[in-house]
Amino acid sequence: MAFFKTILIILLVYYLLKILARMFAPKIFGYAARKTQEHFREKFGEFSQQHQNNSQERIDDVIINKKPPKKNSTSEKVGDYIDFEEID
């Protein structure tokens, strides 16, 4: 009899937790989403303020970014070309 009572208690606790999870999970996830959204807004706000300050200071500036010249390695011989023929 004690075995069945233990199984019954375990099942009742399981279903009770399942029902409570369905009730409170959306609220918990909503809270976590709001906190994450606030965190990203704070970080993005700092970035956008820095970006706006930089763009306002550089309205008339012209910036030309050049790539450094590449060293041509074509003068070095890498190896011989071998022409393979198909065998039927």
The two three-digit tokens of residue 58, written as one number: 């550089």
- Cα separation, 54 vs 61, in Å, equals 11
Q: What is the mean pLDDT of residues 6-33?
A: 96
Main-chain dihedrals φ then ψ at residue 21, nearest 5 degrees = -65, -40
Residue type at 87? I
Res 75: pLDDT: 59
DSSP-derived secondary structure for 3-55: HHHHHHHHHHHHHHHHHHHHHHHHHHHHHHHHHHHHHHHHHHHHHHHHHHHHH
Residue 55's pLDDT is what?
Answer: 57
The answer, as to whether pTM is greater than 0.85, is: no
pLDDT, mean of residues 11-27: 96
Write out pLDDT tens, residues 21-60: 999 999 999 999 999 999 988 888 776 666 666 555 566 6
With residue 57 as reference, give the H or E element that holds it: helix 2-57
Residue (of 63, 43, 45, 42) closest to 53 by Cα position: 45
